[in-house]
Structure 1
Amino acid sequence: MATRTVLVEGIVCRLIGLVLLLLAAAPADAAELSSSAQTEIDALLNRLGASKCQFYRNGSWHSGSEARDHLQMKLDYLVEKGLITDSEEFIEKAGTESSLSGQPYKVRCPNQEDQPSAVWLGSELRKIRQKDSK
């Protein structure tokens, strides 16, 4: 029973901390996501959604399309609040860990080891940029 109480208290403290952080971080003049960053993030989300990779969050594995939908929801929130300005911030603030539990996200692709989602997303972003520069 004591362990459960500690767990619940920890989750409540994280949620309160997250709310306070979001309130403190909300700028008076919200920054805007550039059209080039939006294009990159859209391409990144499309790659994730079309991949055969699985996405681990909060204790379970999800399909690439489910992961895309989840990260799109987080992106929409961050853009609305003016909390991101580029693709790297998207990866850092939306694609790295759960906002609720703090657990890191992972990506598992066929015939590859699990890897932190930030590594996979960063690698895909570099591929997108290389393709665009040719």
Structure 2
Amino acid sequence: MPTISRLLAAGLLASASTCSFAGPTPAPVRAEIDALLGRIAASNCQFERNRSWHNAADARAHLLRKLTYIEKRTETITRTEQFIEHAASKSSFTGRPYRVRCGNGEPVESRAWLMRELQTLRSAKP
């Protein structure tokens, strides 16, 4: 019987292999992704993946692991939006969308939450 980590790796590989990039993430893109991950960690929001809620620090760590896996195995992330689409929007294992819940608010899909945060980051740049 396959282990969960093997199934996760297979799912990540399958989802990442649909892209045709190769090489490391360019430094400006990686800096933007790191800033976005920092916003996640500082958010005090909860993140749902596969019907289980996690704190912001755990969500950041999980997404960083997914990014590292993608970078090492199959593709270059050439835009932060690719990171959101390929690593931060849904489970590579189940395909279920990730969701974010801040305070008493209703959960929203992580893609929408992250795109808003990215827009905020970009509008703050001089």
TM-score bracket for the superposition, by shorter chain length: 0.7 to 0.9
Are 1:128 and 2:126 matched, yes or no?
no
Structure 1 residues 60 and 24: CA distance shift in structure 2, 3 A: closer
* Structure 1 counterpart of 2:110, from 114, 117, 120: 117
Report the Cα offset of residue 25 of structure 1: 4.2
Q: Is the 8 A contact 2:12 2:92 kept in 1?
A: no
CA distance in 2, matches of 1:54, 1:98: 16
Q: Larger RCO: Structure 1 or Structure 2 (Cα < 8 Å, ≥ 6 residues apart)?
A: 2
Taking structure 1 as the reference length, the TM-score comes to 0.78
* Structure 2 counterpart of 1:30, from 15, 22, 28: 22
Larger fraction in helix = 1
Name structure 1 gaps, 5 residues minimum.
1-13
Taking structure 2 as the reference length, the TM-score comes to 0.82
Q: Is the 8 A contact 2:98 2:110 kept in 1?
A: yes
Report the Cα offset of residue 127 of structure 1: 0.7
Q: Secondary structure at the match of 1:101?
A: coil
CA distance in 2, matches of 1:26, 1:95: 15
Are 1:49 and 2:41 matched, yes or no?
yes
Greater C-alpha Rg: 1
Counterpart of 2:91 in structure 1 is 98
Structure 1 residues 58 and 23: CA distance shift in structure 2, 3 A: closer
Name structure 2 gaps, 5 residues minimum.
1-6
Number of positions where the alignment pairs a residue of Structure 1 with one of Structure 2: 119
Amino acid at match of 2:71: V
Q: CA RMSD in A?
A: 2.5
Q: Is the 8 A contact 1:31 1:85 kept in 2?
A: no
Q: Secondary structure at the match of 1:69?
A: helix
* Structure 1 counterpart of 2:50, from 54, 58, 78: 58
Q: Is the 8 A contact 1:32 1:82 kept in 2?
A: no
